[in-house]
Structure 1
Amino acid sequence: MVGAALVYFRFSTWKGRILHLEDLIVKESERGKGIGEALYRKVMEYAYDRGLKRVAWDVLDWNEGAIRFYERSGAKLMKDWRVVHMDEKGLRDYIEK
């Protein structure tokens, strides 16, 4: 296997069914061959063909190549939103306090 796209359904109270792109991975030795773009396109086609209202994903701020790629595709960076996570320790600390 040289690449994979991991997606799952979410629901937005504002938009309805959406697709979350959790991971888009291409083996390092296979990068630059259009595999990532082909996987990305398949994800977008999958969402479009099913009438989903949005595809959402996260990108690290230092991953400038990915950011440029996403912006060229028409995706919008949500600059006024922040990703919020509660990890396992945070969950435990919160519940057990």
Structure 2
Amino acid sequence: MSTVVRTAVETDCQGILDLIMELAVYEKMEDQVKMKVETLRDDGFGADKYFQCNVAENQENGTSKLIGYVLYYYIYSTWEGKCLYMEDLYVSPEYRGRGVGSKLMGSVCKVAIEKKCARVHFAVLGWNKPSIDYYKRQGAVDLTDVEDWHLFRLTGSAIEKMAAKCDAV
């Protein structure tokens, strides 16, 4: 097996979406995925790029197949400046344990170094002990344990309700 990690191109969008669905099944959240290939194309390869993505491609017997991806984007720390947020890191189950995830994560860390980013942030589901253990072995710090940070989210009507407060000012 020969695995190459490379920058994703627009024609990878269907393969990336297939991997996103695999990840959602693994996380027991497949009913929450609303992503479409067109949205990935527009948001990652259109005029305004909202994310970057690297893919792991298995090349075997003259064929190639996407077997993993890492999707990330830039965020900003008011204390330290530029940072990266790693939204997803996923490798298909049959290719795990072969260093593919480390290559993908390494590709994001390489970008962080090149762009002089102070941090790489990411979130892991609490039940996903294999991933938590992996990230800790790589030197990652669990901010919930160490600094008592909690991750929050606004969606739908909560976003609308808060946006309305802006009009009231």
Alignment TM-score, normalising by the size of structure 2 = 0.53
Q: Does 2:112 correspond to 1:47?
A: yes
- For residues 44-78 of structure 1, the C-alpha deviation after alignment (integer angstroms, 9 at most, x for no partner) is 11111221111101111111111111111111000
Equivalents in 1 of 2:93, 2:157: separation in Å? 32
Aligned residue for 2:102, secondary structure, equals helix
Residue 81 of structure 1 and its aligned partner are, at CA, apart by 0.3
Aligned residue for 1:39, secondary structure, equals helix
One of 154, 157, 161 as aligned partner of 1:86: 154
Aligned residue for 1:69, secondary structure, equals helix
Select the structure that is richer in helix: 2
Aligned match of 1:68: 133
Greater RCO (CA < 8 Å, at least 6 residues apart): 1
Structure 2 counterpart of 1:12, one-letter code: S
Equivalents in 2 of 1:21, 1:92: separation in Å? 26
- For residues 14-53 of structure 1, the C-alpha deviation after alignment (integer angstroms, 9 at most, x for no partner) is 1100000011011222222211111011111111122111
Structure 1 stretches of 5 or more lacking a match? none
* Same amino acid, percent of matched pairs: 34
Structure of larger gyration radius? 2
Structure 2 stretches of 5 or more lacking a match? 1-65
- Deviation >4 Å, runs of 4+: 93-97
One of 81, 95, 112 as aligned partner of 1:30: 95
Alignment TM-score, normalising by the size of structure 1 = 0.89
Is 71-80 or 23-32 further displaced after alignment? 23-32
Question: What CA RMSD, in Å, does the superposition of the two structures yield over aligned residues?
Answer: 1.6
